Structures are given as structure tokens and as C-alpha cells.
Structure 1
Amino acid sequence: MKKKIINILLLLVACMGYGQEYKYYTSTTNFISLSASNCYGANPLATIQAKGSINIIDVNNDTLSEESGVFEFDTRPVNYKVSFGSCRWLEGPSSGSTFGLGGYTITINESLDSYYEIKKGNDGTLFGALYFEKRDLSEINEIECNGLNLNATSSVAASDIIEWQYSFDGNLETINNSQNKSSVFIDYDNFAVNFSENTGKTIFFRYKLVGDVFSPLKAYTIISCSPPLIGVFPQETKCAYTNDGSFRIDLKRGLYSNEKLAIILYRKNDFTDEFDIILDQNLNITTLEKIDETTYRHSWTNTLPKGIYKLKYQTGKKGSDISPDDISWNSLIPVDLEIKSSEAVTFSITAHADKTCFEVNDGFIELKANGESGRTFFYQLQRDNIIQNAGTNGGWLPFTGANNTTTINSLSKARYTIKVRDSNSNPCYAKE
């Protein structure tokens, strides 16, 4: 039983840690010479016993580095120790004995994920500095059209920050007006880098601190702003009883070569009045139809029933996943859309008469049809269940009168059935 419990615990730990990879970023400086050369200026005469040293020590008391600089360690550092060296007296009453030149230690509390400290002498001389930050390398950062707020860690005061910097295409530059600020805003549309022309590329940000130490360069993928919307234009169903509606969406620009468009449709729930039904989705649209220089179109390919909808769209990097459950959809303002059905085809018999004489076929029926504007109408006449004029368009004859009316003449005594349809390419029929 104990073995099973241990296996389960190990599995839980493995699952909890999956996808996370931590590094321990450490930036250190030292401004005091480690040569111990000032031993020669001592009075009485002295010489160098030992030069100074640097040790960055981890939680296991192992030395991670014997130099200052910028590092990303696999184990957590706890102490940054700097010794200025030692001297040995060559004369006087203490001849042969040694004395140290001092040093300093910066200790990182093991409960902290970030830490910054500078060391100074009693006279204000800057000895050195350390900045530490625990980094989750699995973290994905993006900068998109709403811009980006960059924030220093809580261990750093605004007065400690000399400036913020960015690196793009290998060039390191200072961000304008970023001195002594614990937070800076990166305006997507007003920055030294033209973000809209560099989507998919990576830009790095960091801040420089008093003591010439730095925060880590953090990478941000440049994500394009979704194209501005011109409008969504519904297309009603072809017939009153069909579920073949659609729509088109017009945008103000096309898609970049590394960009895709994702669209989700939400349909109104007839029972709750909530838009909680994702009726359809297209998450991998890679091309738009160019109408002109400022209009780019996508026509929905799947057929839709009549109803009230809300549409959301966004763009992302081609080849990446945009799940319908992604939190990014929550902040998007939906576009209202209603797909209506075409007007139903109906007809009525406005007048009729039986034949007036045994040997004369002078009965008639007058019809009036209604339906979708702009369409004409046809009728089919069956006499005792036999289609009349079947050799002409299957017996479908056009209405010939004004205002969608027609008269069927020369009728003899019989039982007649009439069907009516419109002129749509896929005809719509009057319901019997």
C-alpha cells in the first residue's frame, strides 16, 4: 500500500511541475580592485598575502561562479561574497602577521523570487551590487495592439532604476523618458520600433539599476492588431424554410504573411435568451479577398439557419492555436448579426368559375402570388393528378399578369391541383 501512495504522490508532483522550467537570473558587479595592491602603501611596510576573490554560492554551499557578471543558474544562489584580499606585515612589531582589507556579502533570502541590493562603504563609496530574479522560462509574453505595461519587481524602487532598455534585431537602445520609473507603457502605435510591420518578431525589455546591474532581458512576441472592422453583412436564407443563410465580414486591411484570422459565432439560445451556443467557428483563415485598397473580405462558407448571432474575431500568429475556450475571447466586443429568412412563397385564388356550357371549356382560375421582392413566379397545374403542359419546363408556366397575378383559362370539368414556386435558382415553393 505504501508503494502505491508514493507512486501517486510522485505522479502528482510531476503533473504539477509539467511545463515549467525555472532559471535563477543573477546580475552582479564589483567596483573594488581585488589586486590588494594597496598593501604596498601600508606603513610599516607590507606586501600582498592574498588577492581578493568573488564567490557566488548556492543553497548547497557550492560555488556557482568566481566572477561577477550576468548569469542564469540552474540552482538558487544565496550568497554573493567579495573579499578585497589580505596583506602581510614585513616589518614592525607585527611583522609576519596578516591583516584583511575587508569585503562584503549580499545574502538572498530563500523565500524571495526577486532581490536587489547595493553595497557601499562608510564614506559612500560604491562597492558592488546584485539583482536576482527567479524566472519561469515557460512563460510566454506578447505585445499586441493595446500596448504593454512593463513593471519592475517589488524589490526595486523607482529611484533605483536608471533607465529602461529594449533590444530589437540585435540593437540595444534606451526607452525615452524611462528614467526613475518603476513602470513604463509601451505604445504599440507610437514606439521607436514599428510593431505593425514586424509582427511575429521578438523584442526584449529590461531595466538598468544603480550599481550597473540589470534585470533579465525578457522576450515579447509582437502580435498584430486585428484588422479594423468595416461591417458584417448578413445574407438571408434562400427560402423561408431552408437553413442556408450566410454573411460576409469586411475588414480595413488584409492579413500579414505570418497572420491568421479566427472567427467564432455565438447563437442566441431561444430558451434562455443568452448567447451561449457556439454555433460555428473558423479559426484558421489565412487569406482575405481584396475588394479595394481599404476593403478585405471573408465570406462565410458554412450555411446558417435564421437567428440572432454575435460574432467575435481576432488575429493570431499563423501556425499557433487559438482555442474557442481561450481567455482572449472574453475581452473582445461582439458584433451583432441577424440572419433573416426570405419571405415565404404564398398564393391565393382570387377568382374562379366553372364552365358555363356542356360543350364549352370556359372555366378559369385567377391566382395571385406573394414572396421575396424581385422574384417572379411560376405555377404548375395538375388535372386529375396529371401534370398539364408537362413538355414545357416540366409544366411550370410563368405568371403573366401584373402584380404577380395570372389567369388559367379554358378549363373543363375536372379536379385541379395547383403548385406555385418562385424564380430563385434553387426555387422556393409555396407550402401546400
Structure 2
Amino acid sequence: MELFDRVLSINDLDAVIDLLSFELERPVIVEDADYTLLAYNSHYIQHFDEANQQTIFTKKWTLPIYETFIEAGVVNKLKTYERPFTVEAMPEIGLNTRIVVSARHEGRIMGYIWIQQMEEPLTAEGLDLLYDISFHIGRLIYDIQKSKLRQEEKEERFYQNIFNGIYKTALDLDWGAKEFGVQLPEHFAVAAVELVEKDDKILFNLQQVAQTSLQLEDKLHHVLIQGDILFIVLGGKRADAPIEALAREVIQRIRDYAKDKEAAVRSGVGSIYSDPFELLKSANQAKEVIQAAKLTHRPLSLYYKDLHICRYLQVIHDKNKEIGYESEAVRKIRELDPNGKKELLKTLEMYLLHNCKIKPTAAALFVHPNTVNYRINQINEAVELDLNDVMQKFQLLLDLMTRGKA
């Protein structure tokens, strides 16, 4: 049986690549359209070049490989060339000369087939064979992605059920995980991201940024949108998994993307738990960080565990609103502020938060210490404050922190 017919008789991608690598006696790698590794093999393990090894280790192109391919026009060729073409050696990224062809299905690029050139290059007949079997490989990738999509839809439904409060007990949640075939993380935290100004398109794009950042290969993470909030479930297999660091990294990428789109986000990260039934609890904590950020006039910690008194600000704010309470001192200071800039209110809040010290307050406000001193004197002339009284100082700080944005 000819190699072409043998390949067409196999419906397992790994088996096809194993056969090709064996018959061609050279490394073969298959990636999907997003440059994520799907299958690989080599007739001799030592034939894998450094770029191959990096891709196998990271499961995706590294940043230097991606940037080099962009600059060299390789990415553009991948998307536009239908026939196999040669990518010359690039020693700076450890790449030997390769032949590459897109794997298509029904006119759509599903991925790419990379074959490393050896001392004896592929013949014209070999290139024709590679082109002919690329469509079969394209169909196999399509089948893999279709199956993956069905599972992703199940995972999405499972996590939506969690955040909608469908599972009332831990037993219900375990049953749901088994029903939808979802692997639950042993340790996790939930991050939440909200756009300052609502924009459904940007929010959807932020979801893609988060998914790309996490790569979602170990199935321990999940990203979903509920209402106007993007939730990111960050999982780990061990108690010492770097979940908080991962959350900070993903959220920073989200912030960078939003900034490029002239948008801004608020974000928070709930506590780390080991009981899956606490997923919703961690998500609500992340939302509390966002809510506290709306009330305060200074940057807050990203993590709920570091909120301290700020976690109660919403409750205090709501109670003040219910009873119509407004601090007399805050009202008088607001009236002193020229043009409603609230500079005196901000200065006093930062002054209290920095233990009534001029220099740290000035540094936090990016003003000269004399400016802070002048503003505090203005306040003292208008309002009789005894900042040596701990209770008065604490009450004033709460009043300032819960005065809202209005």
C-alpha cells in the first residue's frame, strides 16, 4: 500500500505523524491554527532542533519564535500560502531549515505541518505527497477541535451552574462535575474583572486574552462571562501552586490590552480554597474587591485577603445611605474645595492613611510636602479635628472612604 493510502486509512493524528516521521526519517510537528502543539515525532530523538524542543516543552511557540517569524514574514506566508514552502534556518532561535504546509479542511486553515529538512531534502514527489495528505490532517484537526469544543461547552455550562447557584450542596457539585466530565482543581481562587465603562465587545476580547494567557492545557482553569463581569477560575494541583502570582500576571495582561483599547478595568482576586463548593465564595470575594475600589479614592490590593477594613466599606456605605447620614466634617471640607475637585478630601484621606505624616502623604499624592501642609492647615481652620483621638480619627477615615464617587 502506498504511503498516501496508508495515511488516509488512519484516523488518529498521533498515529499519522508517527508514520510520516518513520517513513520520511525526519522530525514532524503538527500545530493548530493558534500555533499550539498537537502532535510530534522524530525518527531519531536527537534530530529535534532547539526550536522543536522549546515548542514541545511549552506546548506553544515561545515569544522569541513568534516575534522572529512575524519579522521574517513566516506568519504571513502560513496564512496565505497553500502549497508547501521552505523556512530557512534561523540560528538565533535554534531553528533548522524546515518545510511547512497549512492543513486545511473545507477551505479553512486548521493548523500547520512542519517537517525538518535533513541532509537529503524532500524531493518534489515528497512535497506533493505532503500537500496531498495535508487535507487529511486538516480533517483530523477539525475532528479534534470539534470534540474539544463540545467538551468546552460542557465545562462552560458546569461553571455557569456554579455561579448561578444551581448546586446547593458539595454532593450536588461533585455530581455536576462528573455529569459534565470536568476535572476540578485541588486548589483554586477566582479572579473578577469589570470594565469601568461597559463594552461587550471589549469584555469578550478580554476573555480571549485571559484564555490565551492561561492556555488552558491542564483543564484546571476556566474563563467565563457573567453579566458585565469576567470571571477567571485559577486552579492548581498543589497547595503551593502559584495561584496568586498567576492571577496577577493574567490581570496585568488584561489591563495592558484594555489600555491599548483606551479602556480601564477594575479587578479583584478571591481567597484560595481547596473545597470546590467554595468557588462561588471566592468569586463573591473578588467582586467585593471591585466594589471597594468603586468606593475608595486610592489603589487597593488586588487580593481580598489584603482588603482589611475595606471589605466592610460597602455595608457601611449602604447603611449611611439608608439613614441619610453625612459626616459634618466631610461636608464642611467639601465646601472648601475649589471647583469641586475634592483635593482637600483626597489629601485628608491619604494623610490619615499615612499616619498623619506629611512626606509619605505628599509622595502618594505626587505633590510637594508644602502643598500637603497648606491643605491640612486649611482643613484645621475650618473643622475642629482632634487627630490624637483614635475613635474620631477612625470615624473620619471611614467617612472619607465611604463618601463614594459623587
* TM-score normalised by L of structure 2: 0.24
Larger Rg: 1
* TM-score normalised by L of structure 1: 0.23
